[in-house]
Amino acid sequence: MVRQLKTLEYTLSSLMRRKSKNLSLVVVYAFTIATLGSVLFLTHALKVEATSSLTEAPALTIQKISAGRHELIPTDHVATIEKLPGVKSVTPRVWGYYYDSLIKANLTLSGISSYREKLELLNGRLPLGPGECAIGKGVAQAFGPAIGDNLVLEDSGKETTTFKITGVFQAESNLLTNDLVVLQEATLRDFFSMDQSLATDLIVEIHNQREIKVLAKKIKYLLPDTRPITRDEIIHTYDSLFNWRSGMMLAVAIAALIAFCILAWDKATGISATEKQEIGILKAIGWETADVLSVKFWEGLVISLTSFILGTLAAWVHVFIFDAPGLIPLLKGWSVLFPKFQLTPAVDFYQLFVLAFLTIVPYLGCTIIPAWKTAVTDPEHVMRG
């Protein structure tokens, strides 16, 4: 242990003698890791947000499809679906999107009788009358109102409608209620000019979760113009979407990867004349080849670990403190319901291990191999160049 500590002490003093070169090396190395880490952190955080938001989603959602597009579904289908064995309940949902030109974002307007997810997280109360509403945290931040203030929206007839805010949602997952405005269902129908015989979709609760796919097939057979969507399908779709988009982002980060490859190749092709002379002197005064390799190992480990820690911290700050400017619009997509929300910090340690393995181990190899070639050469020949 003492021997290794002395070796590490010599390694640190050797690095300090070439501090300008090593500092520039650490900066490039850390930037490469920060670029890759930002994509991985952001992708995993978005997956966690989506998954946590969908855990309370309905087991089965039924939409009507016309010409391949979603349209309003007749509430008459409720009776047809309720007759199927295994169905616990069928509830029509009334909801829709509202674009506000003031904040240039889409809001989700939902009827209170169809909004069932985590209502206990509401600060205040749900709307009880036609002129009341409850809003998500993002809506409150964008418009600036608080409980007791008014929210002004423009209905389908271009008429201005004022709603009194009775509550603000504070969900664990910002995606769940961030862009939400909850109204009385009758009020929302009037706002969207939606007939009583229609609904946005139907949510189906099932007694036995293992029968979801079977019931979905039965509903599709009885109602051919509908599209049953299971909770697992939605989660899988989000997972695949973020994986694909993160792959595109990693492709964009190819410049950083190329920089790292050039750096590693430069180390692999040989070491500088000064370093060769230093190794020759160490061999001449009695150092063994193993001692030289030990110094180079510690040298590579100190630089790579320092770069990895700095790069990882930079990626963390970039994603979870500054909201990953430049990356998040590409991973969220153009159809973001609300343009800004705070990501919940989440890290996949397996991804972190893979990132460390793919960046630290190659650099160690590129440091030790040239040093070994020099260390096994005659010291006099090395010092003479």
Q: Tens of pLDDT along 275-304?
A: 666 666 766 666 777 777 787 788 888 888
At 339, the pLDDT band (50, 70, 90 cuts) reads: very low
Residues contacting residue 131 through CB under 8 Å, at least 6 positions apart: 162, 163, 164, 187
β-strand partners of 70: 65
Helix or strand (DSSP H, E) at 292: helix 289-316
The answer, yes or no, to whether residue 173 has pLDDT greater than 70, is no
Structure tokens at 185: 């269902």
Report the range of poorest mean pLDDT among 87-91, 216-220, 252-256.
252-256
Residues contacting residue 44 through CB under 8 Å, at least 6 positions apart: 346, 347, 348, 351
Q: What is the pLDDT of residues 340-385, one digit of tens each?
A: 556 777 778 887 888 888 788 877 877 777 777 666 665 555 555 5
**Average of pLDDT values for 135-158?**
81
Q: What is the pLDDT of residues 27-64, one digit of tens each?
A: 888 888 888 888 888 878 877 777 776 776 788 999 99
Structure tokens at 72: 């309003």
User: Rounded mean pLDDT of the chain?
Assistant: 78
Identify whether the C-beta of residue 165 lies closer than 8 Å to the C-beta of residue 134: yes
Identify whether the C-beta of residue 319 lies closer than 8 Å to the C-beta of residue 41: yes
Burial of 17 from C-beta contacts in 10 A (0-12 / 13-18 / 19+): exposed
For 253, other C-beta atoms within 10 Å of its C-beta total: 16
Report the range of poorest mean pLDDT among 79-83, 101-105, 134-138.
101-105
Using alpha carbons, list the distances in angstroms from residue 66 to 69, 73, 224, 296, 319.
5, 10, 11, 68, 40
The answer, yes or no, to whether residue 315 has pLDDT greater than 80, is yes
Selection from 70, 167, 178 nearest residue 112 by Cα: 167
% residues pLDDT > 90 (the chain): 18
Query: Angle formed by the axes of helices 19-54 and 289-316, to 10°?
Result: 50
State which of 95-99, 119-123, 263-267, 275-279 shows the largest mean pLDDT: 95-99
Report the pLDDT value the prediction gives residue 337, as an integer from 0 to 100. 43
Report the pLDDT value the prediction gives residue 336, as an integer from 0 to 100. 47
**Sign of the torsion formed by the C-alpha atoms of 253, 259, 263 and 264:** positive
**Average of pLDDT values for 108-112?**
88
Distance, CA of 338 to CA of 105 (rounded, Å): 6
Structure tokens at 371: 């040093």
Distance, CA of 170 to CA of 147 (rounded, Å): 13
